Amino acid sequence: MNSEKKSLREVVLAAVRGLVLALISLPFGIAFLVLVPLSLAFIPLGVGVVTTPAVLTGVRALADVRRRLAAEWCGVRIPAAYRPIPRGTNPWTRTFTMLGDPQTWRDVRWLPVDTTAGFLTALLPAVLLFFPVEGLMLPFGLWRAYTHGGTYWYAFVPVSGEASAIGAGVLALVLLGVARRLTPRLLTVHFRLTRTVLGNGDSELAERVRVLTETRRDAVDTSAAELRRIERDLHDGAQARLVAMGMDLGTIEMLLDKDPARARQLLARARRNSVDALEELRDLVRGIHPPVLAERGLGDAVRALALRLPLPAEVVVELPGRADAPVESAAYFAVSEVLTNAAKHSGADRIWIDLHHTDGRLRITVTDNGRGGAAVGAGSGLAGVEKRLGTFDGVLAVSSPAGGPTMVTMELPCVLS
């Protein structure tokens, strides 16, 4: 008895849910089908740059609601693979980032499907349940209100009197039995149709493979370039000084008895060379992995960077723990490159640095009050920063209008210990 009640409850619930989905999908779907092409058409005029992100965000929200309902109501998982959009991006960047996202176009393609086949598959469970209910009420006098002295067709049964109304009631009982078996399944069919359009697993996997291939290739190139830099620095710096110091020591050895004054001069020069070589080695080690980063974490390492800048810098750190060492290293050198660019090229007289961790992402913002005009392009330092962050699925956003200010935002997914 309890299982029968549960089954009946599931049937009614599926019918009501399908009716709700149908009532939601049709008006919202039609509205977005009109707004999306209109907004895209206005992009060349500049108006669409403002409206398109809002409209596409609305489409995304509608799709996200359908994903959540699919999982909660029928256990159908619909994956989403949206590319992250860092906060603080300008309207142009936000618009074209969203338009370049394959998931955005899957959402847009889903709209006409949802307003047609989706509407019908959502409405069918309600029709399949409520239509037999109407048929069961015909033998109890409802047929009189429908016929008005004529004939009312219930499915393929002509109802003109009590006898035919009873026949319609028998058909309604049969349809009710069918509805009891099919109604929950039909709602699942609706969500599977939605998953077919929204959750294209092959495209998601292909996009993921493309991003990983690109970022890993960049990581290999960056590592090779870093090794070449270390080799060059050792050859041109510390190694050259150590060779010169060795030659001086050989000369000193020969001059100790013959010319002690000259030997003392060479000893002083050898000592200076040793100090310079040691300093260069320390700088080289600091460039590979700064000791302050390993010992005290990203926050203090960035504070140390700020202290070495030739202009005032304000640092705000809200990190309740530490990220993995590779993530910290990538973030540190990314901040270092951004600060170097700001100090050299921005013309700013002040810099603000903010580090915090929210929603599983490390977010770093570097802002200066310089002349603006910074951009991510081939050959720029910011392009290297973007590649460095991409190795860890991080993103970079730059807002730098002419006249400033410039705000560079970096986000890295990570968990703090």
- Write the Ramachandran bin of 315: left for phi over 0, alpha for psi from -120 to 50, otherwise beta: beta
pLDDT tens by residue, 144-167: 777 776 787 777 777 877 778 778
Which band of pLDDT confidence, cut at 50, 70 and 90, is reported for residue 116?
A: very high
Mean pLDDT value of segment 218-222:
56
Token pair, residue 155, equals: 């499915």
Q: What does each C-alpha distance from 69 to 19, 49, 66 come to in angstroms?
A: 13, 31, 5
In sequence order, the β-bridge partners of residue 317 are: 355
pLDDT tens by residue, 388-417: 787 787 888 888 888 878 888 888 888 887
User: Does pTM surpass 0.85?
Assistant: no
Which band of pLDDT confidence, cut at 50, 70 and 90, is reported for residue 38?
A: very high
Structure confidence at residue 289 (pLDDT): 61
**With helix as H, strand as E and coil as C, how does the chain read?**
CHHHHHHHHHHHHHHHHHHHHHHHHHHHHHHHHHHHHHHHHCHHHCHHHHHHHHHHHHHHHHHHHHHHHHHHHHCCCCCCCCCCCCCCCCHHHHHHHHHCCHHHHHHHHHHHHHHHHHHHHHHHHHHHHHHHHHHHHHHHCHHHHHHCCCCEEECCEEECCHHHHHHHHHHHHHHHHHHHHHHHHHHHHHHHHHHHHHCCHHHHHHHHHHHHHHHHHHHHHHHHHHHHHHHHHHHHHHHHHHHHHHHHHHHHHHHHHHCHHHHHHHHHHHHHHHHHHHHHHHHHHHHHCCHHHHHHCHHHHHHHHHHCCCCCEEEEEECCCCCCHHHHHHHHHHHHHHHHHHHHHCCCCCEEEEEEEECCEEEEEEEECCCCCCCCCCCCHHHHHHHHHHCCCCEEEEECCCCCCEEEEEEEECCCC
Which band of pLDDT confidence, cut at 50, 70 and 90, is reported for residue 171?
A: confident
Which band of pLDDT confidence, cut at 50, 70 and 90, is reported for residue 262?
A: confident
- Write the Ramachandran bin of 141: left for phi over 0, alpha for psi from -120 to 50, otherwise beta: left
pLDDT tens by residue, 355-396: 999 888 899 999 998 888 887 765 567 877 887 787 787 888
Which band of pLDDT confidence, cut at 50, 70 and 90, is reported for residue 208?
A: low
Position 40, amino acid: L
Structure confidence at residue 372 (pLDDT): 83
Which band of pLDDT confidence, cut at 50, 70 and 90, is reported for residue 30?
A: very high
Average pLDDT, the chain: 80
Structure confidence at residue 124 (pLDDT): 87
Position 152, amino acid: Y
Structure confidence at residue 384 (pLDDT): 77
Distance CA(388)–CA(330), nearest Å, equals 6
- Specify the higher pLDDT residue, 34 or 24: 34
Angle between helices 162-198 and 102-113 (to 10 degrees): 170
